[in-house]
Structure 1
Amino acid sequence: MSEPLNESPELASLQPLEGGWSGETFLAEAGGDRTVVRIFAGLRHLPEAAQIQAALLRLVDGLLPVPRVLELRRADPVADMPALLVTSFLPGTRGDLLLPTLDRAGLARLGAACGRIAGTLGGMPMLRRGTFVDGDLRIEPFELDLPAYVDGLGLDLPGLAEVAEAAQALLDEEPRTCLVHSDLNPKNLLVDPDTVAITGVLDWEFAHAGHPFTDLGNLLRFERDPAYVEAVLAAYAELRGTPPARALDLARAADLVALAELASREGANPVATRAAALLRAIARTGDLHATD
């Protein structure tokens, strides 16, 4: 159930926030307090998107560092008012901005913190795989056929079909389902620049119930520095018990879904272009661990 917004934010006073939900997320300040306001406008959002994200933040609150839900307003089509979600403002520097400044020790600290986030999510069981459809987090089930999915994207990459078949076989060995953030990468993490502790896990727009190694794959997609990778895998193993080498194999296999989808949009943005280069290397070598 949603709560009414007691005092509507003055939209003219909102300042756009960089990163994350570009053009939809704003910083509001009143009486010395800072809050974050997300406006759910446009056709790309599910009707219940604001309620779903509010429910997810409440679900993981206390387990992960996430903003507190302060206010929630449902959309009012008659008044042409979009849904709004107001949350607390969390301090920190975006992880993708901090990463290039870290030495080996800093990379290891951040990697360990990221591994614990992925491991915590990997330990939050769900009954079936699927997408969330409302604020009660009801699930619309789906079953992923990775080879068919990749084929449907129309990517002309010799060798990719064989890689997808091998990845699907590996993923089938781990049938468990958990809560998946699905966009867990440094861009969506806030980090204390002094302690390198994670202060916020943001952008839950693509969260779903899915494979327990999906988030790990996202964390390790482009960040390949050994200090970071080894720390991520060690922290994940400490929580979930999966040996690092096997976890890395499963992570790469699980990430093939997102990698292929991004590659299908090559040229749309730098991330999609980089993903396409990485996917070409994987298809060419037949190795999920290939680099571009």
Structure 2
Amino acid sequence: MDFSSLTPLEGGWSGQTFLAEAAGERSVVRIYPPASREPAAAEIDAAVLRLVRGLVPVPEVLEVRPADPAADQPGLLVTSYLPGVRGDELLPTLEPDGLAAVGITLGRLLADLGGMPMLHAGPFVDPELRVGDFGVDGLPEYVEQRLPELGHLSPGEIDGLREVALAAQALLDTVSRACLVHSDLNPKNLLFDPESLALTGVLDWEFAHAGHPYTDLGNLLRFDRAPAFEAAVLEAYAARRGTTPDPALALARAADLWALVDLSTRRQANPVAARADRLLRTIASSGDPNAPAPPG
């Protein structure tokens, strides 16, 4: 493939996803530098797309090539191009009724993903989607592991984060099963038909893993908290999964703490990580996982 003919796609922070066009046909090319992830990363991502295709609107895998570190050759994943408008562009334009309609769609999507069972939590380690081990026993241990990278937090914030992590883990332990987790399921990675508001694509599965059923719900509602949208997401999710909105939201906030800690360690990488860092510090200071999200 001629990399010089590729056009960077807007919306991501990695700078590794491009639009290709040949003979009037569009496709999407994702490049995996040898040092960015494991050599099989492109194959793992392709396997996840094949797993969910037909259940979730995802692009078709057209070509996949693993990285070759010895030859300094990047991995490559080519998929079909999906139409639609990104959710981060669409949601700000919608009135409450439109936000509620999109929220219902996404609540059902999250519930369906939360119902795709895995034997245990962990990262996908090969193209067969075998599940490995995260190497950490719970959120409190994870916080301790990442503290050297959280030196910008005050002593009070660190103490508060430890307390929040303990309470969050106790809540998360009330749900013992694992499921397929997208792990970056926010409006930037969702495509919609701007007229019908139908979901046309779920993109960027590079962080997919086997994990907690409420992880994706926490990700989606981290910053997007318009009342009509949040209520519709929670009601649709709860109806599909046989729970009620308030416990679902509490579990979602608890599950999202894992990602907030990780993003806080990378707070200078991009605006989303910086905003997540501000949210984590607010949660740590207040002791409230449901603390208001900071402005973008």
Q: Is the TM value for this pair above 0.5?
A: yes
Unaligned runs of 5+ in 2: none
Asked if residue 43 in structure 1 is aligned to residue 44 in structure 2, the reply is: no
Matches within 5 A, 1:249-264: 249-264=250-265
Looking at structure 2, the residues matched to 56 and 21 of structure 1 have their Cα atoms a distance apart, in angstroms, of 21
Of 56, 60, 64 in structure 1, the residue corresponding to residue 56 of structure 2 is 64
Instruction: Pick closer, same or farther for the CA change 1:78–1:268 going to 2, 3 Å.
Output: closer
Looking at structure 2, the residues matched to 81 and 266 of structure 1 have their Cα atoms a distance apart, in angstroms, of 30
Give, as a single letter, the amino acid of the residue that structure 2 aligns with 1:180: V
Q: Secondary structure at the match of 1:159?
A: helix
Instruction: Pick closer, same or farther for the CA change 1:148–1:45 going to 2, 3 Å.
Output: same
Equivalent residue, structure 2, for 1:169: 170
**1:149-173: per-residue Cα shift (whole Å, max 9, x none)?**
1123224314111111000000000
Looking at structure 2, the residues matched to 267 and 159 of structure 1 have their Cα atoms a distance apart, in angstroms, of 22
Q: Normalised by the size of structure 1, how large is the TM-score?
A: 0.93
Equivalent residue, structure 1, for 2:272: 271
Q: How far is 1:146 from its partner?
A: 0.6
Give, as a single letter, the amino acid of the residue that structure 2 aligns with 1:186: P
Q: How far is 1:192 from its partner?
A: 1.2
Out of 264-273 and 106-115, give the one that drifted further: 264-273
Give the superposed CA RMSD.
1.5
Q: How far is 1:215 from its partner?
A: 0.3
Query: Contact between 1:131 and 1:140, CA under 8 Å: does it hold in 2?
Result: yes
Q: Normalised by the size of structure 2, how large is the TM-score?
A: 0.91
Query: Contact between 1:27 and 1:34, CA under 8 Å: does it hold in 2?
Result: yes
Q: How far is 1:76 from its partner?
A: 4.1
Looking at structure 2, the residues matched to 277 and 24 of structure 1 have their Cα atoms a distance apart, in angstroms, of 27
Q: How far is 1:13 from its partner?
A: 1.6
Asked if residue 74 in structure 1 is aligned to residue 74 in structure 2, the reply is: no
Matches within 5 A, 1:18-33: 18-20=10-12, 22-33=14-25
Equivalent residue, structure 2, for 1:148: 141
**What number of residue pairs does the alignment pair up?**
284
Q: How far is 1:79 from its partner?
A: 5.1
Asked if residue 117 in structure 1 is aligned to residue 109 in structure 2, the reply is: yes
Q: How far is 1:247 from its partner?
A: 0.3
Unaligned runs of 5+ in 1: 1-8
Q: How far is 1:72 from its partner?
A: 1.4
Query: Contact between 1:115 and 1:235, CA under 8 Å: does it hold in 2?
Result: yes
**Comparing both structures, which one devotes a greater share of its residues to helix?**
2
Equivalent residue, structure 2, for 1:34: 26
Looking at structure 2, the residues matched to 111 and 19 of structure 1 have their Cα atoms a distance apart, in angstroms, of 21
Q: Secondary structure at the match of 2:103?
A: helix
